[in-house]
Amino acid sequence: MATDMFTRVPITEQDPKVRATNFEEVCLGYTAEEAMAEASRCLNCKNARCVQGCPVSIDIPAFIQEVKAGNFEKASRIISASSALPAVCGRVCPQESQCEGKCVRGIKGDPVAIGKLERFVADWARENNIKPEPATEKKNAKVAVIGSGPAGLTCAGELAKMGYDVTIFEALHEPGGVLVYGIPEFRLPKQKVVAAEIDNVKALGVKIETNVIVGKSITVDELMEEEGYDAVFIGSGAGLPRFMGIPGESANGVFSANEYLTRSNLMKAFDEEYDTPINPGKKVAVVGGGNVAMDAARTALRLGAEVTVVYRRSEEELPARVEEVHHAKEEGIRFNLLTNPTEILVDDKGWVKGMKCVKMELGEPDESGRRSPIVIEGSEFEMELDTVIMSLGTSPNPLISSTTKGLEVNRRKCIVAEEEFGKTSKEGVYAGGDAVTGAATVILAMGAGKAAAKGIDEYLKSI
C-alpha cells in the first residue's frame, strides 16, 4: 500500500455508537500490510531518541525495521528482550509523551505509530504461539515478588531470565493487578491479552500464588526468615483510594473509581450472566480528569448510564491521554470542566440524589507549573444524579509497610526506595511502581520493576 511519509497509517476502530453499547476492544489494530507500511515511515535513526523515551529501553528502530521487512518473529524477540508485557504496553502506554513524543518524524508530521506497531507484533506473536525462551542456567537463589501487576510481572520476568527461582504472591484471586481490576475490557482484553502475557511470564519459570495477602497471610520478614527467600521485591501498587472530604461522601451510590472498576472488571458486572453487586447508576458523575476517570466514565456509559465528567481545571490541563478523552467524547460522555463539587446531596433513604458544585477559573501556576483553580463567587449550582464516582488518585495500602520491620515510608505512606535500583531501607528488600511513586502509568511501573531486577541481581551476587 502507498504510504505518505508525513502521515501515519490510520487504524481501524469500532464505530463510537456501536462500541458505546459493548465491552469489546475499541481499537482493532493494524493488519500485516498496514503495519509494514507504517514501519516504512521509520527513519531508523542512530542514537534514536525514541529509545530514550521508553522506560524499559526497547530497541525501537531495530524491531520496526524487522516489521518493515515482514520478519515479525524477529521483531517479537527484540521487543521481548526488553519488555515482559508488549501487548499491554502497545495498548495502554502514553506513547505520545514517551517514545512517540521524541520521534524525529513528529517534527514535520505524525510520529511513527510505535505503540500500534508494538501491539501488532505482540498480537502476531500470541496468535502464532511464539513464547519467550527461559534461562538455560539456574541460579541457587530464591526471590519473592509481592504483587502481580506490571511492576511485579516485569521484575519477576527479568529475574527469571537471569536464572533465579521466582515466586509472585498476589492478594487477589486472579493475577494481573491493575491490568485485570483497573483497566476496562474495551481498552485491555483480559483473557486474550492480559492472561496470555501472564502465561508468557510463567513460561520463563515464574510461579504465581494467588490469595496471599502479604502483611496478613504472611509478612515480608517471614518470607525471608522462615520461607528462605534471599530477596523480596514489593510491587503491591497503590490501591487505597482518595476522597474529597466533602459532606455526603459516605452516601449510598458514591464509589471510588477503584471499587467501581474492580466490580466491573474482576467481578464481571459487564457480563449479564454474572450477578455482580453493583448499582451502575442512571445519571452518573465522575469526579476527576485522569485515565482512570475516563475508564470509569466509559464503563458507566456501557453499563447504561448518562455520564458527565466533572473536573476542576480546563481541557488543556486534563491529565488523561488525548486519545482517551477523544474516545470518551465520541461515545457521548459530557465534560463539565472548570467545575468542583462541594457537597453530595442525599435523599431521606441515604442515597445520592445530586451534587452541589461551583464553577472555577484558572489563576497563577502552582509548584508543578499547572494553573491553580480558583472558585468563582456566586457560581454554585446543582446536578441531579444517582451515582458519583470519585477518581482522585490512590495511595499505597499501608499493610505491608506497617508489618515490615525497618521499612521506611514517606508522609504519603509510599515506600522509600532508591530510583536507580529500587533499594529500600531494609536489606534484601526492593520496591517499585505505584507502591513507591503513588499512582502512575503501567510502563513506569514496568521500568521500576526492571530496574529493581538489576538491583536484586547485583545484591544476590554480592552475598
pLDDT, average across residues 46-61: 95
Task: Tell me the pLDDT of the chain averaged across its residues.
Answer: 95
CA distance 180 to 68: 32
pLDDT, average across residues 121-134: 94
- Residues 6 or more apart whose CB falls under 8 angstroms from that of 31 comprise none
Instruction: Decide if pLDDT at 410 tops 80.
Output: yes
* The pLDDT value given to residue 175: 97
For 347-392, write each residue's pLDDT tens digit. Answer: 999 999 999 999 999 988 877 777 889 999 999 999 999 999 999 9
CA distance 317 to 290: 10
For 42-53, write each residue's pLDDT tens digit. Answer: 999 999 999 999
Give 155's pLDDT tier (boundaries 50, 70, 90). Answer: very high
Give 1's pLDDT tier (boundaries 50, 70, 90). Answer: low
* The pLDDT value given to residue 273: 85
* The pLDDT value given to residue 201: 96
What DSSP character marks residue 294?
A: H
CA distances from 62 to 43, 55, 95, 99, 120 (A): 11, 17, 17, 14, 15
Q: Give the cell for residue 309.
A: 465528567
* The pLDDT value given to residue 368: 77
Helix or strand holding residue 281 (H, E): none
For 278-291, write each residue's pLDDT tens digit. Answer: 888 999 999 999 99
For 158-197, write each residue's pLDDT tens digit. Answer: 999 999 999 999 999 999 999 999 999 999 999 999 999 9
For 204-252, write each residue's pLDDT tens digit. Answer: 999 999 999 999 999 999 999 999 999 999 999 998 999 999 999 999 9
Instruction: Decide if pLDDT at 2 tops 70.
Output: no
pTM above 0.85, yes or no: yes
* The pLDDT value given to residue 409: 95
For 304-316, write each residue's pLDDT tens digit. Answer: 999 999 999 999 9
155 close to 235: Cβ distance less than 8 angstroms: yes
* The pLDDT value given to residue 152: 98
Burial (0-12, 13-18, 19+ Cβ within 10 Å), 316: exposed
Q: Give the cell for residue 282.
A: 442512571
CA distance 286 to 360: 17
Q: Which stretch of 31-35, 214-218, 329-333, 435-439 has the lowest confidence by average pLDDT? A: 435-439
Specify whether the backbone of 47 is left (phi greater than 0), alpha (psi in -120 to 50) or beta.
Answer: left
For 12-22, write each residue's pLDDT tens digit. Answer: 999 999 999 99
Give 180-241 as a DSSP string.
HHTS-TTTS-IIIIIIHHHHHHHHTT-EEE-S--BTTTB-HHHHHHTS--SEEEE-----EE
141 close to 160: Cβ distance less than 8 angstroms: no
CA distance 152 to 282: 37
For 93-116, write each residue's pLDDT tens digit. Answer: 999 999 999 999 999 999 999 999
> Cα torsion for 13, 19, 20, 21, to the nearest 10°?
180
